[in-house]
Structure 1
Amino acid sequence: MTEVSGSVDSIPVEIQAEIDQLYQEVPNLTNEYELIDKIGEGTFSSVYKAKDLKGRVTDKFSSHFWSMDSKYVALKKIYVTSSPQRIYNELNLLYILTGNPRVAPLCDATRFQDQVIAILPYYPHEEFRVFYRDLPIKGIKKYIWELLQALNFVHSKGIIHRDIKPTNFLYNPELGKGVLVDFGLAEVQYNYIEDNETDVEEINSVLMKENRHNEQFCPCIVRGTSNADGHIASGPMVTIQNGKVLHLNNVNGLDLTKGYPKYEARRVKRANRAGTRGFRAPEVLMKCGSQTTKIDIWSVGVILLSLLARRFPMFQSLDDTDSLLELCTIFGSKKLKKCANIHGLGFEIHGLQDIKEDGYKDGLKGFVYDLLNKECEGGTLPEYSVAFETHVYLAQELYDTVSIEPKLPAIEDYINRSKSYELKKYQEEIWTDHFWCFQVLNQCFEMDPQKRSSTSELLQNTFFNELNEVDYLVPSEATDEDAANSDETEFEDDDVLLLSD
């Protein structure tokens, strides 16, 4: 979703025309909400800032509003071109997720004929492009912590957001608060294995028999567990000799030397590719049909990489093939080949000299250092930029192998020893934060989704210790749910879109 600038005092003519048109399309809005401005627009919806005239939404969901005296809400107009199932899915997921202050709740929903409007809290936030180059490491820590807290709640419900990106995480740097929005592409994660005590061989056999002809089945789900002999089940193994499939986990051999069989037995690989380019995980790019909440973790890694390297957007390829090549330049072709093998695919690269087998020298740290170094050489960073802290840390980490502690800047005379001590203590803390921050980054960018850390595992990283130790308890979830369920008579039946669990 793209943030649209504008002020209450001077609304562009075309936006005012949209507001007038919306009042005509949904007449029952007139007595409930005063539309003030258009604040966002996406592929499937437009969002408007509005004043809650009767205060019934802002009162019931007061814990979700960052300002106690706020009377503003966000009206999300879902385009009628969206399928009814997609609209229902988004509203129902919002309803299920109501209760966590870091996830935008569905406060109300109104429908008139084929037009559906969702009512959400209004969150005063800064656009990511405004602050991403200026956040110090402590600010980066708070941003990612807030995002992971929101995702942890969403994933605990078995829901994949599928479109994690800065514009879908509204953040206020001054308050240090963020909220996850836009569940238009979200879906419930499918559980292939529900009984963990079932015999591994039996699981793999059943999965292969039931799903091998399923377009969305991926061999990555039948691996990583031990069989009766103690060996690791690595998924369906394929052997091809002279064009003939000799072995495919009990799948009958197919002679491929004479073109396509009359009755094609090979699956067409299809999978959900929902999401935004540049933020898609490798398994999405490789059309894995067994995607999990781990695809959201990869997207968190892309955001964190942008914050550390002070570059946004980070990846800009227009198609999946180029996106995989972008990943190759950083992680290397060897890791991408191994990743492809997990999903039952081959991956070959020829004639591209800039892509190395082992990836970027010094990995993600080397990649970030080179990006920052180019900015330092080009003079594009202001003298006061916090990016220099990351640049100096990486320079010493990568190239000063003798030093075991951060070096202080070359200052001949300190005013007194106490200031010297404070400076050293501050810089040691910054060094420590950077060390653990890059560990979090590597955890997010694990190619194998089964090995990629979950939100709860990331939140346990030492990087977030100081935030986890502070009492960040919020009002219990029951408070909002009770409020939403109480005084239901205040909402008229013909104005509210009723949802079922």
Structure 2
Amino acid sequence: MELSPVCSEDISSYGGILKSDAAHRKRKISKDVELDIESLYKAVPQLSKVFRITDKIGEGTFSSVYLGEAQMHDGRREMFALKHLIPTSHPTRIAAELQCLTLAGGRENVMGVTYCFRKEDHVVIVMPYMEHQAIVDIIGSLSYEEVRLYIYHLLKALKHIHQFGIIHRDIKPNNFLYNRKLRTYALVDFGLAQGTADSQIELLKDLSGLRRVPRPVFGERNLNSCTPAPPTSKHAPLKTESLKAKKTEDAASYKHTSSNRALVSVRTSSSSQKPQRAPQQGLTCNCYLTDRVCNVCLARKQQVAPRAGTPGFRAPEVLTKCPNQGTAIDVWSAGVILLSLLSGRYPFFKASDDLIALAQIMTIRGSRETIQAAKTFGKAVVCSRELPRQDLRTLCETLRGQRSSADVTMVPEAGGETSAARRNTDQDETPTRWPNGPQLDTHKGEFPLVVGSRHVHPDTQRLQELIFYFIQFGPDAGLQDGKM
């Protein structure tokens, strides 16, 4: 076994607070952070023998990240990122994250793992520290070359982990670190990762529900698993064969939403209401593609599907609880990041719930395209009015509010069949109609909705067209006449 290059000298006498790091010397840590560091030392005493923890540099729902310095055997001092997982994390989830970092990390812009410490139910994953800049702080000053390189290296990392059958599920700027000075990149945080059917990490298959999980998580159903819970009703399951084929083809249930201003009907694979008593056999469904929902559809079981991810970056498949989710959901998130960088707006999508998020997607992609896409994966959508598809290039230029000749020739064409005349906009047009990302035009109460996907959503394909050029030609390729 290879010896560790880190000295294990007891440094607890330093109190765990080091002020020598130049990047953090200017900022005095708060009392709360000092208490958190001391609590971490108490929870995992082994850390005090190796690391001087200097600061708390990140915090999320399932973990906190600290900055630590270690004395190497060769005399060097090296910085590390210490990720402390919350004690309630399931062991399978922790082991799966470690396997992702071990198998795929350390190359192709994917963060690796250096050490791991455990004390009872406290686990600390140690990774190399990468100094980086938050995208929200530099998005307004990013050049097109930087955007191109950023997306290229992100897609390179995604291609790498997808080859191992890893679905990251939480692709966003905060999880793809960027050092602007050194032009280095790192994909981090596999805490929500799941696996494909051919994943090389068996534990991810458990988390994805691709094989039976031995036991529930802490006595409750795992919300990140798409394995349906066993039936609890005493009634026999509803026989859908008795329903009329024309009314139920490729659709499992019906969901109805309404407001005092407009009415939108969406047919999805789940219902927002609790299943009722199963109706008598022989009843037919007459509510398909109408503005009402029948008791037959209300009696259907709710569909269980993975919904993990960050709002604003989740694909339509996730928002609509589509059971068949693959690596395409990561590509969708990468496309949203690209739109955010090109438009200078972060976040690009900002919605209070899933339905509004779906409405925003339809506002960008168009109602006709959405309805056609829904038919391909067994779901249907009824929209109150037809919405045109937005030209993504024009949209990004308008939101950014600058149209210099250099920008026009560098931004890739988003809508290939859209004429140049239609791309022209008034330079005096107010570019801040959507100050927090594109918002649905609700002055008439219109709430168009898009539904999920089977494998690769056509909307995902449209975004792939926008970024395929990065994969095909690489980061150093140039554009001619503003075309791919």
Please give the range of the TM-score, normalised by the shorter of the 2 chains: 0.5 to 0.7
- Which secondary structure state, in structure 1, belongs to the residue aligned with residue 383 of structure 2? coil
Give matches, 1:162-201, under 5 Å.
162-191=169-198
Q: 1:286·1:340 contact (CA, 8 Å) conserved in 2?
A: no
Instruction: Give SS of 2:333's match.
Output: helix
5 Å matches for 1:132-281? Answer: 132-191=139-198, 241=244, 255-256=283-284, 266=300, 268-281=302-315
Aligned-pair CA distance for 1:17: 1.0
Residue among 88, 93, 100 paired with 1:93: 100
Give the conservation status (yes or no) of the 8 Å contact 1:170–1:178. yes
After TM superposition, where is structure 1 displaced by more than 6 Å over at least 4 residues in a row?
A: 214-217, 246-249, 261-264, 392-400
Paired with 1:87 and 1:216, the residues of 2 have a C-alpha distance of 19
Q: Which amino acid aligns with 2:341?
A: L
Give, as a single letter, the amino acid of the residue that structure 1 aligns with 2:31: V
User: CA, structure 1 residues 119+387, in 2 after alignment: closer, same or farther (shift >3 Å)?
Assistant: farther
Tell me, yes or no, if the aligned pair for 1:244 and 1:254 is still in contact at 8 Å: no
Normalising by structure 2, what TM-score? 0.63
Aligned-partner Cα distance in 1 for 2:250–2:336: 38
Aligned length: 349
SS in 2 for 1:298: helix
One-letter amino acid of the counterpart of residue 67, structure 2: K
Contact 1:128 1:166 in 2 (8 A): yes
Distance 2:251 2:330 in 1: 31
Change (3 A) 1:70 1:180: farther
What is the CA–CA distance in structure 1 between the aligned matches of 2:249 and 2:105, rounded to whole Å?
52
Q: SS of the residue aligned with 1:464?
A: coil
1:256–1:455 distance in 2 versus 1, CA, 3 Å: same
Amino acid at match of 1:164: I
Q: Distance in 2 between matches of 1:239 and 1:450?
A: 36
- The change in CA–CA distance for 1:456 and 1:93 in structure 2 (over 3 A counts) is farther
Whichever residue aligns with residue 362 of structure 2, its letter is C
Q: 1:79 to 1:395 in 2, by over 3 A?
A: closer
Listed as ranges, the gaps of 5+ residues in structure 2 are 1-22, 200-224, 229-240, 253-280, 287-293, 423-455, 479-484
Distance 1:101 1:49, change over 3 A: farther
Matching of residues 456-471 of structure 1 within 5 Å: 459-462=470-473, 464-466=475-477
CA contact (8 A) 2:72 2:78 kept: no
- Report the counterpart of residue 129 of structure 2 in structure 1: 122
TM-score calculated relative to the size of structure 1: 0.61
Identity %: 33
Amino acid across the alignment from 1:348:
V
1:459 is displaced (CA, Å) by 4.5
Does the 8 Å contact 2:154/2:176 carry over to 1?
A: yes
Deviation track 1:105-127 (CA, whole Å, cap 9, x = no partner) reads 12111101111100011001111
Is the counterpart of residue 51 in structure 1 residue 69 in structure 2?
Answer: yes
8 Å Cα contact 1:108-1:119 kept in structure 2: yes
Q: Would the aligned equivalents of 1:107 and 1:120 in 2 still touch at CA under 8 Å? A: yes
- What is residue 105 of structure 1 aligned with on the other side? 112
The one-letter code matched in structure 1 to 2:303 is: K
| Cα distance change on mapping 1:152 and 1:261 into 2, 3 Å | closer
Structure 2: distance between partners of 1:177 and 1:25: 33
2:388 aligned partner: 358
1:383 aligns to what?
none
Q: CA RMSD in A?
A: 4.1
1:344, distance to aligned residue in structure 2 (A): 1.8
Structure 1 residue identity aligned to 2:472: N
Greater length-normalized contact order (CA 8 Å, ≥ 6 residues apart)? 1
Q: Within 2, Cα distance between the matches of 1:135 and 1:180?
A: 19
